[in-house]
Amino acid sequence: MNLPNKLTFTRIILTVPFIFFLQASEQHGFIWRLIAFVIFVVASVTDFFDGYIARKYNLISNFGIIMDPLADKVLVISALVLFVKLDYIPAWMSIVVIAREFLISGIRMLAAAHGEVIPAGKLGKYKTSSQMIVTLLILLTGPAVKLGKFHFPMMYLMLIPVVLTIWSGWEYSVKAKHYILNNI
């Protein structure tokens, strides 16, 4: 397994302690939230470096093309589910993101069944970056700005990745419509 693939795999593994510390931070306080924040930062940094190293040293593999976006999904969806549980964002925001991820994963599986691998596009990378940045901001603020039921300032900021999620999902679906139409 090459270094970029190890970094991708590391991101998946880091999701487990991230979930543990974020969930426990509600009972144990700021230090636990800070640990979750650091874990998320490290996991996010692996996302940058796995792609950078793979491109720079020509270590691009089908494993990396498929698993890198899945690792991102596992990390981000874990955060979103916990943010709903903690009342930081409304459930519909998380559902929109998760539904898009399942749709795109399904399209990728159809393509793979036909021997093709569809890499993530630029808009999908912007979507993932925005999701990670907003997740970090929510982790930083924690319950400090929670007003009423939801975490209002961050909830509105979360609209950026939600819009990018819808847009990139639409763009990806249009580009891959032949896989969808030929398999209905």
Q: Tell me the domain boundaries of the chain.
A: 3-181
Residue 123: CA count within 13 A, CB half-sphere: 14
Confidence at residue 184, expressed as pLDDT on a 0 to 100 scale: 65
The pTM of this model reads: 0.84
Inter-CA distances, 106 with 5, 47, 61, 122, Å? 22, 22, 20, 19
- The superfamily in CATH containing domain 3-181 is CDP-alcohol phosphotransferase transmembrane (TM) domain (1.20.120.1760)
The tens-digit pLDDT sequence of the chain (184 residues) is 899 999 999 999 999 999 999 999 888 888 999 999 999 999 999 988 998 999 999 998 888 877 888 898 899 999 999 988 888 888 999 999 999 988 888 888 888 777 877 777 788 889 888 988 999 988 888 666 565 665 667 778 899 999 999 999 998 888 887 777 776 6
